[in-house]
Amino acid sequence: MYIFFLILIIIIAIIGFVNSINNIKKPRIVFDSLQDFKADNYFLSTSFGLSIGFDNQRKKICILDKMNKPVIFDYSKVLQCELIIDGESVLISSTSGTIGRALLGGILGGGIGAIIGGTTGSKTKKENISSIDLKIIVNDISNPVYRINFLNIKTKKGSIIYKLAYSNAEKWHGIMSGLIRQGNDDEKDIIKPVDNFSIADEIKKLKELMDNGVITEEEFSKQKSKLIDD
């Protein structure tokens, strides 16, 4: 009887392993067949979860849903990534750009100031862990939240399974944090011409005030210098 159960356990383990291999193959095929997206790196789900990859040349991220349907968006669309262990937030990285903060506030409903660009510093003290997820928030009102699962079985915190899952999740949190920073840089490049236009517009208004005798030439020069220096 003992041998029978041992054989049964081995068969179940083999079937689970084969299914995991098949689950990995499908998202890999999708990533490799995408047009205008060449993944530099990707994480492939083994449990019918979401998979994720990024194309650093095109500055795009691709997330595959449970049916391996791709959703592609620019780095600048990523507003926040959060590492979650058993429902407890461990690390959070958020956009620091002005536009990004406004969008994130609109999606989450406010109250984000304390977490922008920071980490919670919280560490779970549980001995057994059941889930490790990376929650990603993007600028998409119809579907703003994606959860990438790295662990979905109960295991001891010091086990090899846990360490591997946490290592992958932490790695991808770091990757997403870097992509968010790149998105912030792109946002700054977009905002800069707007700032220049605002300065030129203010100078034009000052010139009109001077021409109409509202302010003196000296006051005009002083305010113009202040705008340019700022």
Same domain assignment for residues 197 and 181: no
Residues 108, 201: one domain? no
Q: Are residues 99 and 165 in the same domain?
A: yes
User: Is residue 199 located within the same domain as residue 148?
Assistant: no
- Predicted confidence at residue 217, as pLDDT, reads 83
Cβ pair 203, 224 in contact under 8 A: yes
CB-based contact 92:86 (threshold 8 Å): no
Residues 88 and 200 in one domain: no
Q: How far apart are CA 105 and CA 137, in angstroms?
A: 11
Dihedral angle over CA of 148, 89, 161, 62, nearest 10:
20
83 vs 224: CA distance, rounded Å: 48
pLDDT on residue 4: 56
Residues 21 and 107 in one domain: yes
Please tell me the predicted confidence (pLDDT) of residue 209: 67
* Distance between CA atoms of residues 149 and 131, nearest Å: 7
The tally of domains found in the chain comes to: 2
Partnered with residue 41 across adjacent β-strands are: 54
Does residue 27 share a domain with residue 136? yes
Q: Is the dihedral of CA 111, 117, 122, 123 positive or negative?
A: positive
Of 186, 201, 218, the residue that ends a domain is: 186
Dihedral sign (CA 72, 77, 82, 83): positive
* Maximum CA extent, the chain: 104
Residue 213 confidence (pLDDT):
65
73 and 136 belong to one structural domain = yes
Residue appearing with tokens 């592609």: 72
Dig out the tokens for 116 from the structure: 């922008």
Question: DSSP of 112-157, one letter per residue?
Answer: -TTTTT---------SEE--EEEEEEES-TTS-EEEEEEE-S-EET
Whether residue 31 contacts residue 53, with contact meaning beta carbons closer than 8 Å, is answered with: yes
> Domain range holding 94?
2-186
Q: Which amino acid is at 223?
A: Q
Same structural domain, 171 and 95: yes
Cα 167 to chain centroid distance, Å, stands at 17
State residue 141's pLDDT score: 83
Q: Which residues of the chain register pLDDT less than 50?
A: 13, 15-21, 97-101, 107, 110-122, 190-197
Residues 75 and 147 reside in one and the same domain: yes
Residues 156 and 217 in one domain: no
Tokens 């086990």 found at? 159
Do 48 and 70 belong to one domain?
yes
